[in-house]
Chains A and B, each alone.
Chain A
Amino acid sequence: MYLSGLVKKEFGRIKSDKRTLVLIFAIPIILIVIFGLTSGGGPTAYFNAAIITRDKELCNCYNSTDGYDDIFIEVVDDDCEAWGLFDDFESEDDDDYDKIFDKCVELLRDEIIDVFIILPDDFSERITNDNDTEIIYYIDGSDKQAKDAVEVALQEPIGKFRLEIGKTVNFTTMTPYLEYEVPFWESQVLNYAFATIASMLILGLLMNLTSLSIVSEKPLPRMLLTPTAKDEIILSKLIANTIIMILQVTEIFIMSAIFGLYCLGSLFELYLVLLMTGFCGICMGLFISAISKTEQVANQLYMMFFIIVIMFSGAFINIESLPLAMQIIINSLPLSHSIPLIVSITMKGLPIDYAHLASLALISTTFAVMAYIAFRFKKVEV
């Protein structure tokens, strides 16, 4: 009975606050344009590789039992700082090669490896004869920065291999096909940045919107001197902000489509992930607002939470290279789920990963419950 009035009040407050409206609806447009045109994904400093060797020749001048391909594999495995070897596969024939190739594509898609390298069947022969040879590599094209970085990073195993064999043979590196690359006719920069920027935008703006919703409402203690219960007040905030969030996410969704959003997977699933990310932001913001005594504290907590969430989103730090305890903490933050979800839907065309979605739902619920408990026990006096 009281809830609808409270929800209307929340809308009235938001509507009358022009700055908040600008923050909610204008900033995403500006940022989509700016970030979409200027940035890419996070840097990748370490590459986990699989190597397929088709080389049949043995090296008769360096080691009687190994081919040059084995030496190259050893170099990648043991000597390179920026490289790690996940596995190496020797293909006997074309059928065998096809199977191994498919397996590697699967490993790439599942992000178990970052790149797989193919050594041609005349690899050892060409090196033995001091002829130039080629290295073919396949990379997950959804990571724009990694795509650029791997070309540079590949010089490390090549250089170390040259030293190891004492030859100055030239290598031609070839990337015949990049898995999950944004097609050239689509907006490259926007799409490579979309997962990071959209999820950060939605989460950050909604956290900001709700982080002041309790602490800045001065008549709130007075409202508690009416038959209205605390549960109704926090629920009304959740409902009103969720409606605002749906509008904001829809706006971002439409704006991104106008600016050339490339999505291989289901648009509905992408929309769902964006909504879940927004809902996480609302719940986190409400929690911040419920535990803060003043607006200043709420602002500081918001900044702290947001920086942590961004830092450990996986966009800047490779999560898998961190200790297990840190990985657990990171996995309890929303962006480490929403970014991979968006990437896999938009660029890989994969169906929604329910484990990630459930994690987002769990994080939201946890923050919502904590906000509710904090507000229940918050001392509010007129």
Chain B
Amino acid sequence: MSTGNLKDIVVNVENLEVTFDEKKIIRNVSFNVRRGEIIGFFGISGAGKTTIIRVLTCQISKKNWTGNVNVTNLSPGSKKNYAKILSNIGYVPQLEELNLYYDLTPLKNVEVFASCYGMKKKEAKNIAMELFSILDIPEDTWNKPLKKMSGGEKKRVSMAIGLIHKPDILFLDEPTTGVDAAKRYDVLSYLKKLNRRLGTTMFLITHDMEAALIVDRAAILRDGKLLEFDSNSNLITSLPNNGLVARFSIENLNEEKINIIKRFPNAPNIKTIRVGNETLEVLMDDFEKNLSKLIQFMMENGLKINAMSRDVAAFRRYFQLRIQEEEEKERLIRIQQDAIEEVEI
């Protein structure tokens, strides 16, 4: 993990552990974030993404967590630092209704939230106008009640509110949730645009693997553990054969057929991901050399291949594989533990 220049580090987390009611939610998590980076926190529900962000945003009392955490060089462990940290960060919740007063206009909303940071009305208005322009919010809507705006416009106003006080770090909770497929890319490109223009460090908490397109580094979490924290390209090239995948369309694909492929003798490190009803992706070492042998092996074992293509794995595949790998590890540990218990009995 790259530590970067110490001056540039805006978030530093060392050995973070979060416990609620004696249940460990976050286990020994460490990472740091450099100024201007976009970080993606990926994980399935209950992985601990939001809990880490809640620690960073002073929402969890110090009695529930241990470790060394610094946000803009201030520890959220001390209540004295809360106001300063909260001045340095912005937050965009998943649902716009949690960030906006729908009865008020975008400019009035800006005024309300800017006043929470002690900003002057004129200063806030100027920043808002700049942000609204970057986010392509039509000028004729600035003085209309938010409830009359479209979902996408509300989302962009919500982002602008998060940035109104020019924070060092912006936390975005599921920024693409509830947005239709086509607009998801718009939201992501607006975030990238804001990041480039303002240099704001961004934390994206998301289920949406497409968000990996704009992140500088991705964190993968599972059961409170940080499995990976690296750039998208580094993660993919760490896959067998730099993430080269063979995509097979196999007739009547089922678990039994997948297990046959997993037994391919020439590539013991073979990895498979089912990506559709009859579609399977395969990653393996010595891809070029082994591919024809794998096809032959599959045919010899009675698998009917309808189509085949090759591609480079996307982050989504990396994520699936990494989670699968972790689940497999845990399964083996459980088997071992059960065996030990049986012997003891």
Interface string of A303-321 (1 = CB under 8 A from B): 0000000000000000000
Closest chain-A Cβ to B253's Cβ sits at a distance in Å of 42
**A378 to chain B: which residues have CB within 8 Å?**
none
Closest chain-B Cβ to A151's Cβ sits at a distance in Å of 55
* Chain A 199-224 residues near chain B, CB threshold 8 A: 218-219, 221-223
Contact B115 A2 (CB under 8 A): yes
Complex interface: stretch among B11-19, B101-109, B257-265: B101-109
Contact A226 B98 (CB under 8 A): no
* Central interface residue in B87, B100, B101, B145, by most chain A CB within 10 Å: B101
**A2 to chain B: which residues have CB within 8 Å?**
115-116, 118
Q: Is B83 an interface residue (CB 8 A)?
A: yes
Q: Which of A12, A16, A228, A381 contacts B116 (CB 8 A)?
A: A228
Closest chain-A Cβ to B218's Cβ sits at a distance in Å of 23
**A16 to chain B: which residues have CB within 8 Å?**
103-104, 145
Contact B103 A17 (CB under 8 A): yes
Q: Is A99 an interface residue (CB 8 A)?
A: no
Closest chain-B Cβ to A237's Cβ sits at a distance in Å of 14
Q: Which of B82, B112, B113 contacts A12 (CB 8 A)?
A: B112
Q: Is B91 an interface residue (CB 8 A)?
A: yes
CA distance A5 to B173 in the complex (A): 26
**B116 to chain A: which residues have CB within 8 Å?**
2, 5-6, 223, 226-228
Interface string of B139-180 (1 = CB under 8 A from A): 000000100000000000000000001000000010000000
* Central interface residue in B86, B99, B115, B118, by most chain A CB within 10 Å: B115
Q: Is A9 an interface residue (CB 8 A)?
A: yes
Contact B91 A9 (CB under 8 A): no
* Chain A 341-382 residues near chain B, CB threshold 8 A: 381-382
Q: Check A222/B145 contact, CB under 8 A, given A9-B101, A9-B112, A12-B103.
A: no
Interface string of A218-260 (1 = CB under 8 A from B): 1101110111100000000000000000000000000000000
Contact A219 B86 (CB under 8 A): no
**A1 to chain B: which residues have CB within 8 Å?**
118
Contact B87 A227 (CB under 8 A): yes
Q: Is A4 an interface residue (CB 8 A)?
A: yes
CA distance A5 to B119 in the complex (A): 10
Q: Which of B57, B104, B108, B112 contacts A225 (CB 8 A)?
A: B57
Contact B91 A227 (CB under 8 A): no
* Chain B 158-207 residues near chain A, CB threshold 8 A: 165, 173
Q: Is A103 an interface residue (CB 8 A)?
A: no
Q: Is A167 an interface residue (CB 8 A)?
A: no
Q: Which of B97, B101, B108, B113 contacts A226 (CB 8 A)?
A: B113
CA distance A4 to B165 in the complex (A): 18
Contact B108 A6 (CB under 8 A): no
**A5 to chain B: which residues have CB within 8 Å?**
111-112, 114-116
Q: Check A13/B101 contact, CB under 8 A, given A8-B112, A227-B86, A382-B59.
A: yes
Q: Is B67 an interface residue (CB 8 A)?
A: no
Interface string of B79-94 (1 = CB under 8 A from A): 0001110110101010
Interface string of B117-151 (1 = CB under 8 A from A): 11000000000000000000000000001000000
Residue of B with least CB distance to A16: B103
**B97 to chain A: which residues have CB within 8 Å?**
218-219
Closest chain-B Cβ to A233's Cβ sits at a distance in Å of 9
**B115 to chain A: which residues have CB within 8 Å?**
2, 4-6, 8-9
Q: Please tell me the size bucket of the interface on A.
A: 20 to 34
**A4 to chain B: which residues have CB within 8 Å?**
115
Residue of B with least CB distance to A12: B104
Residue of A with least CB distance to B86: A227
**A9 to chain B: which residues have CB within 8 Å?**
101, 104, 111-112, 115
**A221 to chain B: which residues have CB within 8 Å?**
98
Closest chain-A Cβ to B102's Cβ sits at a distance in Å of 9
* Chain A 1-26 residues near chain B, CB threshold 8 A: 1-2, 4-6, 8-9, 12-13, 16-17
**A219 to chain B: which residues have CB within 8 Å?**
97-101
**B83 to chain A: which residues have CB within 8 Å?**
227
Closest chain-B Cβ to A221's Cβ sits at a distance in Å of 7
Contact B117 A227 (CB under 8 A): yes
Contact A227 B112 (CB under 8 A): no
Contact B98 A218 (CB under 8 A): yes
Closest chain-B Cβ to A252's Cβ sits at a distance in Å of 26
Closest chain-B Cβ to A126's Cβ sits at a distance in Å of 76
Contact B91 A222 (CB under 8 A): yes
**A222 to chain B: which residues have CB within 8 Å?**
91, 93, 98-99
Closest chain-B Cβ to A282's Cβ sits at a distance in Å of 21
CA distance A382 to B95 in the complex (A): 10
* Central interface residue in A5, A381, A382, by most chain B CB within 10 Å: A382
Residue of B with least CB distance to A382: B93
Contact B103 A225 (CB under 8 A): no
Closest chain-B Cβ to A2's Cβ sits at a distance in Å of 6
Closest chain-B Cβ to A215's Cβ sits at a distance in Å of 14
CA distance A12 to B86 in the complex (A): 25
**B118 to chain A: which residues have CB within 8 Å?**
1-2, 227
Contact A13 B104 (CB under 8 A): yes
**B103 to chain A: which residues have CB within 8 Å?**
12-13, 16-17
Q: Which of A17, A218, A382 contacts B91 (CB 8 A)?
A: A382
**B112 to chain A: which residues have CB within 8 Å?**
5-6, 8-9, 12
Closest chain-B Cβ to A368's Cβ sits at a distance in Å of 23
Residue of B with least CB distance to A381: B59
* Central interface residue in B93, B103, B116, by most chain A CB within 10 Å: B116
List residues of chain B with CB under 8 Å of any chain A CB.
54, 57-59, 82-84, 86-87, 89, 91, 93, 97-101, 103-104, 108, 111-118, 145, 165, 173
User: Could you name 27 residue pairs across A and B whose Cβ atoms are closer than 8 Å?
Assistant: A1-B118, A5-B112, A5-B116, A6-B115, A8-B112, A9-B104, A9-B111, A9-B112, A12-B108, A13-B104, A16-B145, A219-B98, A219-B100, A221-B98, A222-B91, A222-B99, A225-B57, A226-B87, A226-B117, A227-B82, A227-B86, A227-B87, A381-B54, A382-B91, A382-B93, A382-B98, A382-B173
What are the 8 closest A-B residue pairs judged by CB atoms, nearest first?
A: A5-B115, A16-B103, A226-B116, A227-B83, A9-B112, A228-B116, A225-B91, A1-B118
List residues of chain A with CB under 8 Å of any chain B CB.
1-2, 4-6, 8-9, 12-13, 16-17, 218-219, 221-223, 225-228, 381-382
Contacts beyond the supplied A2-B115, A2-B118: 18 A-B pairs with Cβ under 8 Å: A2-B116, A5-B116, A6-B115, A8-B111, A8-B112, A9-B111, A12-B103, A219-B100, A223-B113, A225-B57, A225-B58, A225-B89, A226-B116, A227-B82, A227-B83, A382-B59, A382-B91, A382-B173
